[in-house]
Structure 1
Amino acid sequence: MAKEQIDFRAATDTEPYWTNSAFGGMPTYQLGAKYPHDYIGALDDVLRFLPRPADYLFLYFLGFYGLLLVLKIDPLKAFFGAIAFGFSTYLIIILGVGHNSKAHAIGYMPLVIAGFLMVFQKRFIWGGLLTLFATALEINANHFQMTYYLLIFLLLLVGYFTYQFIKEKDFKGLGFAFGSLAVAGIFAIGANATNLLATTEYTKFSTRGKGELTFSADGSKLTENTALSRDYITEYSYGIAESFNLVAPRLFGGSNNETLGTESSMYQFMISQGVPATQAEDYVQGMPTYWGDQPIVAAPAYIGAVVFFLAFLALLIDKRRIKYVFFGGALIALVLSWGKNLPTVTNFFIDYIPLYDKFRAVSSIQVLLELCFPVLAVMGLQSFFQLDQIQQKKALLQSTLFGVGVMLILFLFKGTFNFSAASDDYFIKNYGPAFVDALKSDRKTMYSADLLRSAFFILIVAGALWLYIKNKFAQNTTIILIGLVMIFDLFLVDKKYVSSKDFVSKREIEVPFQATPVDLQILQDSSNYRVFEINGNLSSARASFFHKSIGGYHAAKPRRMQQLFDYQIAKNNLEPLNFLNVKYLIQTDKEGKEFPIANPEANGNAWFVNQIQLVSTADEEMKALDKLDSKKVAVINSKEFKFRKTAFVKDSLASITLDLYQPNHLKYTSTNTSDGLAVFSEMYYKNGWNAYVDGNKVEHLRANYVLRALPIPAGKHTIEFKFEPEVVKTGSTIALLSSIGMVLLLVAGIYFERKKETQL
């Protein structure tokens, strides 16, 4: 979807801030726009010097290592802890499926926490500076859902330390801490002002903003007024029992595309059905063994059996109360990840916690758990070596009994599960009951095998610690051995879901799609038009790489475009395709072969209408499109736009032609013997698009729910639309001033710290 933007940037060395390649037209604020004075982005580029995805993996390691050092963890333990965090299965999987901005934001989370900890350790200058730059980088990563979840943890952290300061009656220290954090937050936000302001502005236009319609696509009355529907927010809710995947990876079948071997029940079933061995082996390479509550799972969110074991050890023996903050953060993340499976808590957050209803996939909050547990694990490992031998034996026994006991209890409860998935009915219908029986058998095998696997890793680590107690291993040898086992445990699971075959060349990333014969055929038409890829509905971005498409793939797509599709196009009303100037549709035949369909009824780039249909609500706007001749009539909301004229004279020679096309600048010539109203097949976006008639700025309207319209006087005129977003100018000024302030704070901080050292 960003290709038009990238090509325009390369050709003109300027940013368009708008693209027509996705959803009929949208700002590029969430498509990789580059803003003036984005110096934090430049710093981020320096830190991410490695090729993708190694750059994100490096951020995982770097940030977590820094956090552990701030927690006064020894470098060797911190080293292994950082790798264990980075190899947490979910953090690897999101790299494999391309959630780059999510990985980017997660990478800076530990550094932000480290900065907060330093501030509350009364290292106000260095802590404030680390918080300042880490927070700026976190915001710059541009994944606000991850940043929001981080904020939840930080509120818990601040609450804990605030209580401690008040308990000690250190109000001066608390004031300095809050002051340091406030200054850091203000400048970090300021340095990212352009993106934050632009995103805030766009949110109201997107599916993350509240809609105006009061009825759903099926005609029923909408009962919710949240930015996203409750079902959509909680669609990916972690099952309560499924949470044990965190410590035994494939308890609930692993993924929707699990690799099975020749020892599997499914393989034996295939052989029994007369399938040749080589075909049967290929077939079982991608089986839907997952039977949890979520619609699709690429891999289990496994934190590691060793990490789990050592984290419990920390809760037993670490004397620092900060452990309860990390445990509390993990617990809150786990509970909120259950989503619709714990409706009382989830509904409270959706209804009453600010911004919570802006994000979907509530299971994603488990990133906090995947951060907190490795912290606890390394704290537990370090604390163990600080105990006397009697305490070590007691703690080791308790932790081992707990860790292995959990696996044993889960094993004993195996008979209470039915190992059935929601998708099994489909497989029974199409492949028969025996096929599903084989699937269930493999699910049961995975359940038992992975419990034994996790117990085995726990016992290895317990054995290493026991040998240390018996003076058979030196401390560093024990740490290295445990660290390697911890990493090996995670690595083996990661490799099941992201392997060498998942990596592609840099060239394939830069050119991810090859033009099909259909694309090449359509591209022979050099005029300005749109394309609709029917099989992709509105959720395929492939066409955007080659054409101006009305589809795309984005978590915050333009709301009105999505509504237009759901309420009209999906119901086979083709008139919206005409007024969106969809000249070609890409269809697929029964054999899966694509072919183009020309739409001779497409309205073109702009046209004059004879009549205005005035309505007063969004509901009436949408319903007016049910039966609309868009070539003659335009629908306008008179409550939003003070427009009262309802009829125009349009002679046969009246015309309006597109003379210049750029994503952010369109130029037309209009000819009409009478005053008229022109409708343009371009998306209406009030914050940035300005209209000009013969160089004079004029007001324009929204027509047909999504398009631009403009009253044009009689005669021949030059019409221009220019995308001139004030938000970019304002934000860039703030970003420049904030960046200067950050540099001054850095210089001042270094000066005062050195001065303090000299005085000592």
Structure 2
Amino acid sequence: MKQIQKLYPHLLAIIGFILVSLIYFSPVLRGKKIYQSDIVQYTAMAKEQNDFRANENAEPYWTDAAFGGMPTYQMGAKYPNDFIGHLDDALRFLPRPADYMFLYFFGFYILLMVLKVDPLKAFFGALTFGFSTYLVIILGVGHNAKAHAIAYMPMVVAGIILVFRKKYIIGGLLTMFAVALELNANHFQMTYYLLFLLLFLGIYYAVKFILNKEYKELLKVGAVFLGALILAIGANATNLLATKEYADFSIRGKSELTFDAEGKKKTENTALNRSYITEYSYGIAESFNLIAPRLFGGGNGEVLNDDSSVYNYMIQVGASPEEARQFTQGYGKTYWGKQPIVEAPAYIGIVIFFLAILGLYHDKRKLKYAFLVGAIFSLVLSWGKNLSLVTDFFIDYVPMYDKFRAVSSIQVILELCFPVLAILGLHSFFTTEKEKQWSSLWKSTATVLGILIGLFLLKGMFDFSSDIDQQLLQMFNQGEDKSFGIGFIDALVEDRKSLYSADLLTSAFFVIITFVPLYLYSKNKLSHTTAVILVGLFMVADLVLVDKKYVNNEDFVSAREVDMPFVASPTDEQIMQDTTRYRVLDVAGYLTAKASYFHKSIGGYSAVRPQRMQELFDYQIVNNNLEVLNMLNVKYIMQTNEEGKEFATKNSEVNGNAWFVSKVRFVKSSDEEMKALNKFDSKNEVIINTLAENGQDFKGAENISKDSTATIKLTYHKPNHLKYISNNKNQGFAVFSEMYYKNGWTATIDGKEATILRVNYTLRGLQIPAGNHKIEFKFEPQVIKTGSFIALISSIGMVLLLVGGIYFDRKKIHNLK
């Protein structure tokens, strides 16, 4: 009975997390869905895959709808024996995005329990982690995989700490399942960043073990981690193996080209371009947004109201109230930081910061320093190109660091560490003698208020100008009145200064009102529970008031608008009247997924799009190389005229799905291969790199020929299965307008396996004997079969360990009695 009673506070906390998640995203209770821009793109990209799954009750693992063809491994493919995925589905039982919010709360609550924080403080601590502005913003824009991975981070940390505390059974089990769920979330950048924090925690505990000469215990810890990691990786083997296989094929792999699209020699040899990696770098001074959200103007979409200087300026120059309002909201760009796009500041909460400083002064546990180092480390790396010395070192020398972009997102580690420090500080404050409480309280209050006052006094050092100001000036100065633009920018700068001052004052206010209940408790004028509740409410209110400015009920729409995000335009409908198999190029929306929703597109939306297809676009298609479009079977080109009206141009020179050639041109490098595409006859000539996959297997080029009657026709097509009939009096070589991918695709001629060659930089080619033949391509990736078998064995092992762990743990408790 006592054991059951101990569960009541935790059960109440979980119910509270459910209610808070549903209340914050209350429109889900009315059947509405949040409109997430990234998920709209994903829905379009995955439509062909989802339609195939619904019609065939199977997975295609390949899509024709995007980038001319690519694996679906990073597009929501479902794998056999994915038992961890089923467990994850059970934990995410709430409507989206309330499910991710609940996971934020639940995972962080577990971590705080492991850190021996009482349930009430842990409840509020979990809420503050989940309401950290960045974590809410990514739900608003649809970075679901990122949110998913972040949500499981605290559980992983909790398991690691338990094992280091020699709780081998429960710690090992928690680590095993948490790591498995973290990997299943499938956002390897977030998982990669988590490793840095785990490294700092590992160093902290390893030093303790070594100083205490507990070498055997340290070996036990290592053995538990190794076993947990092996099974966690094994349970996710299919996705991990498939992703690893695909990585080099994508833009995350290193290009074989040694010159750029302008013909200049490349100076970098990183997986991603250095400027691309660091494009989103947090400004050093901008980092103070963490404690005062709109110091640098908030986000790009910040909206000024009728009390703003810009609005008043527009009224002064003769605009009507409605005109002034429209102009203010349209051109009043308050963000003046250095990042290209910012949805909202990454605000962690001034109360959280205040309590974290309190913890650094007050909490006696040395573990706090591991979290402090993790926070500082992530902050420094988030500066990216603004601290190039450090960033360049990591790009050049730290394994895999060059495979991820948007370095500012490493701040998720800081956003985990600071709430931990804050709740440790709050917990320690209430569990130590009264005379020490005041000392720590006034020091932390003075420190935080000192920082805020210092920022206020330094206001004059900033010019509050942005790169967009020059664009606005240029636009406004096209008229006769050149003074209008200058006046508008001056008013805009005043609004930026107002936001700067207002948020510093707001932060100071929250520090003071948080100080009051802590002070009253230290003087025995307020009860423990009342003080905790008040501080907890201040923590949550501080964050929610900011969150609601950026993600709120207005972001929800009907379920139909989310499930069917695009409506076919007249141009789309015109193209779709053509029932043959062809591809489409959307010139204006090459890196968007709308065309993929309705057509077979050579563009799309993906952070892991195929490397060679992207290079074809950068080096050839942007230069209007029609022969490349012909070989890609691009029959329709979607464009917009000067009035912004969409129209389609039909390419009558398109090569079709497959064709015989009469000439082979051999090259010996990817550089030569790309340059050969600059000028070639795609209908009669094929380019083969003899150093490419299977390129050395090509024999008998002198015997290749075609006559006027030679044909090859596509008779059956699904994304993962193609059939052709060929007729050629002579031995021939056929080019297929299908993306070459060396793993998984097999070809047969009359049932006998044939060697697929990569030709024309991206396409498939086959040597075909004289006569009539049946040709088939099938996509049956071995990596799926191998990975699924490993996942099955690993999942069985995890279940057996869980049952065994529970048995031995209960037996140990019984023996203690």
TM-score normalised over the length of structure 1: 0.99
What residue in structure 2 maps to residue 560 of structure 1? 612
What residue in structure 1 maps to residue 15 of structure 2? none
What residue in structure 1 maps to residue 500 of structure 2? 447
Counterpart pick for 1:539 among 571, 591, 609: 591
Deviations 1:357-377 (A, max 9, x none): 110000000000000000111
Counterpart pick for 1:415 among 456, 460, 465: 460
Deviations 1:425-465 (A, max 9, x none): 11110022222222211111111111111011001101121
Counterpart pick for 1:161 among 205, 218, 225: 205
What is the correspondence of 1:124-139 to structure 2 with a 5 Å cutoff? 124-139=168-183
What residue in structure 1 maps to residue 513 of structure 2? 460
Deviations 1:10-61 (A, max 9, x none): 0000100000111110000000000010000010000001111011101100
Q: CA deviation at 1:249?
A: 0.2
C-alpha distance in 2, partners of 1:449/1:363?
25
C-alpha distance in 1, partners of 2:314/2:767?
69
Deviations 1:240-288 (A, max 9, x none): 1111000000011111110111111111122223322123224434542
Matched to 2:758, the amino acid is R
* Residue 386 (structure 2) pairs with residue 386 (structure 1): no
What residue in structure 2 maps to residue 272 of structure 1? 316
What residue in structure 2 maps to residue 211 of structure 1? 255
Q: CA deviation at 1:470?
A: 2.8
User: Which shows bigger deviation, 646-655 or 281-290?
Assistant: 281-290
C-alpha distance in 2, partners of 1:747/1:540?
48
| Secondary structure of residue in 1 paired with 2:588 | helix
* Residue 373 (structure 2) pairs with residue 321 (structure 1): no
What residue in structure 1 maps to residue 528 of structure 2? 475
Deviations 1:712-753 (A, max 9, x none): 111110111100111111111100110011011111111111
User: Which shows bigger deviation, 660-669 or 583-592?
Assistant: 583-592
Matched to 2:659, the amino acid is W
Q: CA deviation at 1:504?
A: 2.2
Q: 1:262 and 1:496, CA in 2 relative to 1: closer, same or farther beyond 3 A?
A: same
Matched to 2:95, the amino acid is P
What residue in structure 1 maps to residue 8 of structure 2? none
Q: CA deviation at 1:590?
A: 2.1
What is the correspondence of 1:709-728 to structure 2 with a 5 Å cutoff? 709-728=765-784
What residue in structure 2 maps to residue 359 of structure 1? 404
Counterpart pick for 1:549 among 593, 597, 601: 601
| Secondary structure of residue in 2 paired with 1:366 | helix
What residue in structure 2 maps to residue 148 of structure 1? 192
C-alpha distance in 2, partners of 1:298/1:434?
27
Counterpart pick for 1:613 among 639, 652, 665: 665
What residue in structure 2 maps to residue 250 of structure 1? 294
* Residue 359 (structure 2) pairs with residue 306 (structure 1): no
C-alpha distance in 2, partners of 1:645/1:402?
79
Deviations 1:598-632 (A, max 9, x none): 11111110011111111000000000010111011
C-alpha distance in 2, partners of 1:620/1:675?
27
Matched to 1:444, the amino acid is K
* Residue 758 (structure 2) pairs with residue 702 (structure 1): yes
C-alpha distance in 2, partners of 1:240/1:151?
24
Counterpart pick for 2:633 among 548, 565, 581: 581
C-alpha distance in 2, partners of 1:117/1:317?
21
C-alpha distance in 2, partners of 1:191/1:389?
50
Q: CA deviation at 1:644?
A: 4.7
What residue in structure 1 maps to residue 545 of structure 2? 492
What residue in structure 1 maps to residue 579 of structure 2? 526
| Secondary structure of residue in 2 paired with 1:535 | coil
Mapped contact 1:614–1:646 kept (Cα < 8 A):
no
Counterpart pick for 1:666 among 707, 722, 740: 722
Count how many residue pairs are aligned between Structure 1 and Structure 2: 759
| Secondary structure of residue in 2 paired with 1:298 | coil
C-alpha distance in 2, partners of 1:282/1:60?
38
Q: CA deviation at 1:73?
A: 0.5
What residue in structure 1 maps to residue 24 of structure 2? none
Mapped contact 1:20–1:663 kept (Cα < 8 A):
yes
C-alpha distance in 2, partners of 1:512/1:676?
45
User: Which shows bigger deviation, 732-741 or 272-281?
Assistant: 272-281
Deviations 1:99-139 (A, max 9, x none): 00000000000000000011111110000000000100000
* Residue 596 (structure 2) pairs with residue 516 (structure 1): no
Matched to 1:450, the amino acid is D
What residue in structure 2 maps to residue 627 of structure 1? 679
What residue in structure 2 maps to residue 196 of structure 1? 240
Deviations 1:329-387 (A, max 9, x none): 00100010011111111111111111111100000000000000001111111111123
Q: Which ranges of 4 or more aligned residues in structure 1 deviate by more than 6 Å? A: none
Q: CA deviation at 1:520?
A: 1.3
Counterpart pick for 1:690 among 714, 733, 746: 746
What residue in structure 1 maps to residue 64 of structure 2? 20
* Residue 179 (structure 2) pairs with residue 123 (structure 1): no
For structure 2, the 5+ residue unaligned runs are: 1-44, 477-484
Q: 1:424 and 1:645, CA in 2 relative to 1: closer, same or farther beyond 3 A?
A: farther
What residue in structure 2 maps to residue 348 of structure 1? 393
RMSD after superposition: 1.0
Mapped contact 1:613–1:646 kept (Cα < 8 A):
no
| Secondary structure of residue in 2 paired with 1:342 | helix
* Residue 397 (structure 2) pairs with residue 339 (structure 1): no
C-alpha distance in 1, partners of 2:627/2:333?
40
| Secondary structure of residue in 2 paired with 1:690 | strand
Mapped contact 1:24–1:683 kept (Cα < 8 A):
yes
Equivalent pairs: percent with the same residue? 63
C-alpha distance in 2, partners of 1:194/1:30?
12
C-alpha distance in 2, partners of 1:333/1:521?
51
C-alpha distance in 2, partners of 1:325/1:382?
18
C-alpha distance in 1, partners of 2:570/2:208?
68
C-alpha distance in 1, partners of 2:629/2:317?
48
Deviations 1:545-596 (A, max 9, x none): 1111111111111000000000011122222111100111111122222111
C-alpha distance in 1, partners of 2:530/2:329?
39
What residue in structure 2 maps to residue 650 of structure 1? 706
C-alpha distance in 1, partners of 2:195/2:327?
45
Q: 1:476 and 1:710, CA in 2 relative to 1: closer, same or farther beyond 3 A?
A: same
C-alpha distance in 2, partners of 1:325/1:285?
44
* Residue 655 (structure 2) pairs with residue 603 (structure 1): yes
Matched to 1:358, the amino acid is K
C-alpha distance in 1, partners of 2:793/2:327?
60
Deviations 1:171-223 (A, max 9, x none): 12211111111110000000000100000010010000011000000011001
* Residue 688 (structure 2) pairs with residue 636 (structure 1): yes
Mapped contact 1:611–1:633 kept (Cα < 8 A):
yes
What residue in structure 1 maps to residue 474 of structure 2? 429
Mapped contact 1:612–1:645 kept (Cα < 8 A):
no
Matched to 1:711, the amino acid is Q
C-alpha distance in 2, partners of 1:693/1:496?
61
C-alpha distance in 1, partners of 2:434/2:155?
35
Deviations 1:395-419 (A, max 9, x none): 1111111111100000111111111
What residue in structure 1 maps to residue 794 of structure 2? 738
Matched to 2:497, the amino acid is K
* Residue 417 (structure 2) pairs with residue 372 (structure 1): yes
Mapped contact 1:582–1:599 kept (Cα < 8 A):
yes
Q: CA deviation at 1:388?
A: 2.3
Q: CA deviation at 1:473?
A: 1.8
